[in-house]
Amino acid sequence: MYRRIVILTGAGISAESGISTFRDQDGLWEKHHIEDVATPEGYAKDIQLVERFYNLRWQDLQRPEILPNAAHQALAKLELEFEGELLLITQNVDDLHERAGSLRMIHMHGELKKGRCPKSQQTFVLREPFGEDNCCTCCIPAMRLRPHIVWFGEMPFAMDRIHDALDECDLFIAIGTSGTVYPAAGFVDTANHHGAQTVEVNLMQPDPHSQFQYHFTGKAGEIMPKLVDTILNGNILGANKCKLAQA
Ligand code: APR
């Protein structure tokens, strides 16, 4: 039976909900230049272009057909029913985990639905799109809100808390992430180093150099409900009796 679980999710977990990933075919980074829309330098160079990019993604998230899928729901169920400690870390800036019911979670790359005061760093839930009139209420003069997004070259949020949890966990699961963006890509090494079991769930076959001990290949929405039930039934991966998703 596991006692401390850390879960990392990436864009792949929201793909079945209709949100584009970054690096898959037709992903966001095929249509936009990272340096233009996802760096502090790009923002300084063309504020309107960057605001338009995040305004469109924020509006997209509010389409009625964008809903949490079975993988988000399975993780919310795990949080509710697991008797040990669980920390959910997401690289995603959508709010589908919260909508599914997850409470104890870290948005390490920020959140689409929030803006941040560039001076005080206070965050505000967006009521209107980014623009010159969308300002903070914490400063005089009021400052134009910037997207509450961690751009390339910026430090992700809550890294101390994340590393403490990775040091102590006995199971680490990464779901729907390409494992190409650090520091999240290094979490598996930390968890392995501290003796945790490490599991990857991904649509694609694992990379031959993968550091994960277990792989489940397929859709997160199909694998996660089975994997969560396996954990909640007190089974340990790799143990004789463990019958997991045939993935
Ligand atoms: N189920 C499981 N995995 C899936 C699914 C699915 N239904 N669909 C796609 N995937 C996998 C892909 O095979 C790929 O490995 O999800 C992964 C998505 O990878 P990326 O698009 O690179 O997204 P991610 O790894 O989350 O990106 C990390 O990069 O640009 C930055 O800040 C951005 O948070 C993002 C970070």
pLDDT 10s digits, 133-149: 999 999 999 999 999 99
The binding-site residues of ligand 1, defined as CB within 6 angstroms of any ligand atom, are 10-12, 15-16, 21-24, 27, 91, 109, 176-178, 180-181, 202-204, 219-220
Nearest to 172 by CA among 195, 156, 206: 195
Q: Which residues pair with 112 in a beta bridge?
A: none
pLDDT tens, position by position, 66-102: 999 999 999 999 999 999 999 999 999 999 999 999 9
Instruction: Kindly tell me if the per-residue pLDDT of 58 is higher than 70.
Output: yes
For residue 204, what pLDDT is reported? 96
Alpha helices, DSSP H, located in 169-219: 187-193
For residue 247, what pLDDT is reported? 39
Cα of 23 from ligand 1 centre, angstroms: 7
Neighbours of 174 (CB within 10 A): 25
244 — pLDDT class (breaks 50, 70, 90): low
Instruction: Kindly tell me if the per-residue pLDDT of 243 is higher than 80.
Output: no
pTM: 0.95
Q: Closest residue (by CA) to atom 4 of ligand 1?
A: 12
Q: Are 204 and 216 within 8 A, CB to CB?
A: no
Cα of 6 from ligand 1 centre, angstroms: 18
246 — pLDDT class (breaks 50, 70, 90): very low
Q: Check if 107 is active-site.
A: no
Question: What's the average model confidence in pLDDT over 152-178?
Answer: 97
Cα of 145 from ligand 1 centre, angstroms: 27
Instruction: Kindly tell me if the per-residue pLDDT of 245 is higher than 70.
Output: no
Average pLDDT, the chain: 94
Q: Is the peptide bond before 141 cis (omega within 30 degrees of 0)?
A: yes
For residue 239, what pLDDT is reported? 61
Of the candidate ranges 122-126, 172-176, 227-231, 238-242, the one whose mean pLDDT is the lowest: 238-242
Instruction: Kindly tell me if the per-residue pLDDT of 215 is higher than 90.
Output: yes
